[in-house]
Structure 1
């Protein structure tokens, strides 16, 4: 198993410290409500059928990422931006993986640990009924394990042993991180050679947007959803190749498959009246987030905002 090293300090890119704190505060405050709206997988769904329920389409997205990567059973996985651990639990339970999930939110770590412990205890013949300590691996009977840590994803190479993972999984988290080139470089350092995978699902702007379309469609998403400036898909490829990766799955635009997510989530009462009450209580970032949700729907409809998946390998 990968060892976690003590947290260090370092100079963060200009302007990122305040945004990081806002992101942490946001997720600490609203994750419980997100669970009521999204379930345990706080990410887009992939729609094979418009009649599929919310939880199924979110698992569909995980399966699509597994298809493009051919992630092996019993892999050691670093799940960056793990939320409340839905994907981490899936990989541990279904593929026997040893998953380390990291998030900037202490509340998400707390929820991920409690949800995982409860799920394991509900299964036949659990290995242990003891409550695990913070950061301990929780073991599924005859399967894998998962643990959850509060870590800043912008500096992961100093926290784990080099070449200690078979996969770095980043689903809808990289857009929050200011120094993306460092994430690609750190991921390369942490992955073992011989075909280890970097799997990404993220939000992108369309290439060659003029300044008017950027201001109309992209800037409101960046502001409302607390993202760093969005990139194009090919810019991610360039960063991955610069870090040393080879392309296994070139960026695949799945916007049409995931964009109905917002209509499905809107069926939950929390995302109508309740979300506005919560937004007002939280303040500017809460209100901005609701506006950001609406901006994402406009961005998808315009073609300026994209959702794509991709996979890279360390050979």
Structure 2
């Protein structure tokens, strides 16, 4: 005859312990809510970018603009008969040693200067950039000087000089093929990136442009070491993905123009890699890319640039899997 044992009593959790866990959870969520929200905005770009795209993508139908530039003179430096919203100023940024005096980049930059002979031109170096930030953006100076990666300083400076002076900001590896006059009728212009968002290697804006001001204003908010890797950190804190996120969450995007190609060739103005567009020969140096860039870009191409969504989804799956395993262990007790 077997031994009869009394049924094991279910463990009772002390009410105080439960309350403490709830309070701890609420406090943790409160402390992390800004990080979670910012991560969500970054992850949502593949879903939100094309919302109302017909309003902000430059087209012949909505803007009476020839995106192929075939009907514009290569020497047209004004948008006449339309008004010029963008002032005649060129900005090139060359931080660090050697870049500003390298003969290759000097020659490339000169192509842009030659096509805009009457425009004011700035070549931002470490000294002039630091003076600008200290004088006009003192609240950002500590963050700017302590950025983890040099390209973050360059990206942040793009927005600052564009906001303070207006004009056109260009990467040093963009060889100009024609003047930017036709585009000066728009308050903000940047080329479409593939497969989503826009490139910050070339931007045009009016002085004190409200959207560019938002790009400057949100730098501190997104200044995090994202995913613990260089490439996401740059892209999500100062780079193209960051700027595209701010664009996607603006209430009125109609004035924030994106330059793409016609329906048959939407990548006509894309600056991804060494390419030739109607405006530029892009030499595609991408010297800032680190060891993780190739892996992430490859994943992004395979999954339609939804890498942030995949990463967040993976974290969510791990969380629910651990939660389910814990529940099973409790049922076995």
| TM-score with structure 2 setting the length | 0.29
| TM-score with structure 1 setting the length | 0.30
Bigger Rg, structure 1 or 2 = 2
Higher strand residue share = 1
